[in-house]
Chains A and B, each alone.
Chain A
Amino acid sequence: MSDVLVFVEFSDGAATKAGLQALGAGSTLAKALGGKAIALVIGNNAGELGKHGADRVLVAGGDAVGSYSPDGFARIVAEHAKSTGAAAVLASATPMGKDFFARAAAIAKCGLAADCVELKVEGGKPRAVRPVFAGKALATVEAPGTLWATLRPNVFAEVSGGSDAAPETVPVTFGPGDLKAVVKEIVAGVKGKLDVAEAEIVVSGGRGLKDPAGEGKQNWANLEALAETLGAAIGASRAVVDAGWRGHGEQVGQTGKTVSPKLYIACGISGAIQHLAGMSGSKVIVAINKDDNAPIFKVADYGIVGTVEDVVPALTAALKETLGS
């Protein structure tokens, strides 16, 4: 009981960044426990995970897992948690990990430490630290047996090197007909668009940007340009989502997504307690607001007092200059 099993998420045939970060965290934890990091991939291509910290690589492929299924994926992970006797079982806290890992833990008759930001070994046992109340407090948790945990994207570092482990194909013990829920189709959205919770840089807009269907049109175009310059995902305050200006998937806060990017730029956002809860874990926070008393400045590392109309396009231009040099 000192190995760590890591479900490494793939997208379009390649390991996701969040998946490699989870593997990095698993590799570090396994070393601290004196065990091996075992990567588990569901699909037909395992990439070269030995180069990212895996001591062993298990690949479960075939028809039954051709499309994502929460109960199918859960079964595979639970089976290998059992067969490897892992001390900890990890995945990324992405929309996929958040969906099926709870089912997997339940098959194993275990709880789940969700959306963890730190893993450590205390008294020979793995422990996890996870934000609760969207980061208003941090809980250190442990499990009586195997620790099942999902890890917040952008918090754990990828590791390089390790082994030249060849993928070991493992059988899938069920067929497509045994599955209870399977994705039928993707009905909307942009393929490959970065989720705000997984982005390294987030540029968020608030009510101060005004209605994109009216006087705020140029402001939102400016925000998109800023995001594009930085390769950032767009986030939004709840005021903006409730007004129907942006989709709910972009809402940051206690009742939206909790994000920890390396850079969070809040534009025209006042900084209500629910919003702060969702983004205070960011490494560097920038606030642009015309009101120098806005609460967002209390958590910001860098603030500019000014209107989004003036500052956002000027910042895009300045960043283009800086990034170009």
Chain B
Amino acid sequence: MDIIVCIRRAPTTDARIKPAADGKNYDPAGVNYDISEYDKFAIEAGILLKEKHGGTVTILTLGPSAATKEMRTAIAMGCDAAHLLVSDANHDAWATAQALAEKIKTLPHDMVLFGWNSVDNQSSATGQMVAELLGLPSVSVAVALDVADGQATVDRLAAGGNRERYSVKLPAVVTCTKGLNKPRSANMKGIMAAKKTAVPETPANAPADGVSVVKLDPPPARPEGKIVGKGAEAAVVLAKLLREEAKVI
């Protein structure tokens, strides 16, 4: 199986996010980066499919040159090859999808995997957009994935914890979430292999954004709260406040 896993380099989730001087982007000062959380489940899913069916797992990223670090982490986990489409801009899902789809068209692919949502832009859209551009079926938010006879059976986490089951023809796009697997950590052999693996970089041919940011603001500050009291006795006071002051019940 030829498997492509698209991963994103994103600020770690403990990062404090402040608008930059331009008022549109975030200030990168002091921000550390990692593979966007859900993409780790996509990497693991790709490796598991390879272990079961043979083939290769190729990592694809649109991002700055620094993203080769996250891509090498993915190779160290057990992926085989990687391509970086170099761009320093924070593209939206539509621009990202077009750049990725153009590259994927040139690579053999039976399965294209994504994380279901990025921890920064949070559009949960790129995978489905790539699928549309390539004319492929998509199943998002997968919690189970199995491939047999050119078909993928995928369970998707829908509203209220329901699981919807799909059976789609390969090639297909699947976006992955927690519960699908437990992403492995890299072992020493993988880390050595990753060091030796070339990560070719080509300038991204990313088109204009579909939606562009005109302004980035910090969230409104929450008004000062109050401690209602201690222990069980405070519950009666709280119930009254929720009804009479906050008017939410």
Which residues from chain A sit less than 8 Å from chain B, CB to CB?
11, 68, 70-71, 74, 94-96, 98-103, 105-107, 110-115, 127-128, 131-144, 147-148, 180-195, 198, 201, 230, 241, 247-251, 254-255, 258, 262-263, 273-274, 277, 280-281, 283-286, 292, 297-307, 310-311, 313-315, 317-319, 321-323
Contacts and interface: CB of A to CB of B under 8 A. Distances in A.
B223 interface: yes
Contact of B160 (A249, A251, A303): A249
A110 B94 contact: yes
A280 B231 contact: no
A186 B119 contact: no
Interface residues of B, number: 91
Contact of A189 (B136, B163, B222, B233): B163
Given A142-B214, A188-B162, A106 B239 contact: no
B179 interface: yes
A250 B209 CA distance: 32
Contacts of A241: 178
A103 B129 contact: yes
Nearest to B123: A114
A181 B137 contact: yes
A319 B232 contact: no
Interface string B210-243: 1111111111001101111111111110111111
12 contacts: A102-B125, A112-B211, A128-B211, A137-B19, A137-B219, A143-B210, A188-B161, A193-B162, A301-B223, A319-B239, A319-B242, A322-B249
Given A193-B162, A314-B235, A273 B124 contact: no
Contacts of B44: none
B92 interface: yes
Contact of A112 (B93, B138, B231): B93
B177 interface: yes
Contacts, number: 302
Nearest to B94: A111
Contact of B211 (A113, A184, A201, A321): A113
Nearest to A122: B214
Contact of B227 (A143, A191, A305): A305
A323 B159 contact: no
Interface majority SS on A: helix, strand, loop or mixed?
Answer: mixed
Contact of A319 (B162, B222, B249): B249
Contacts of A134: 119, 122
Contacts of A194: 160
A187 B146 CA distance: 15
Contact of A274 (B13, B132, B163, B169): B13
A106 B97 contact: yes
Interface string B178-201: 110000000000000000000000
Given A102-B93, A103-B129, A186 B161 contact: no
B137 to A, nearest CB: 4
Nearest to A255: B37
A198 B158 CA distance: 12
Those 7 A-B pairs whose CB atoms lie nearest each other, nearest first: A111-B210, A102-B125, A189-B162, A193-B160, A180-B137, A111-B94, A314-B232
Contacts of A302: 225-226, 228, 238, 241-242, 246
B141 interface: yes
Contacts of A262: 248
B92 to A, nearest CB: 5
A300 B187 CA distance: 43
B160 A99 contact: no
A222 B196 CA distance: 55
A304 B230 contact: yes
Nearest to B214: A140
Interface in B5-61: 11, 13-19, 26, 37-38
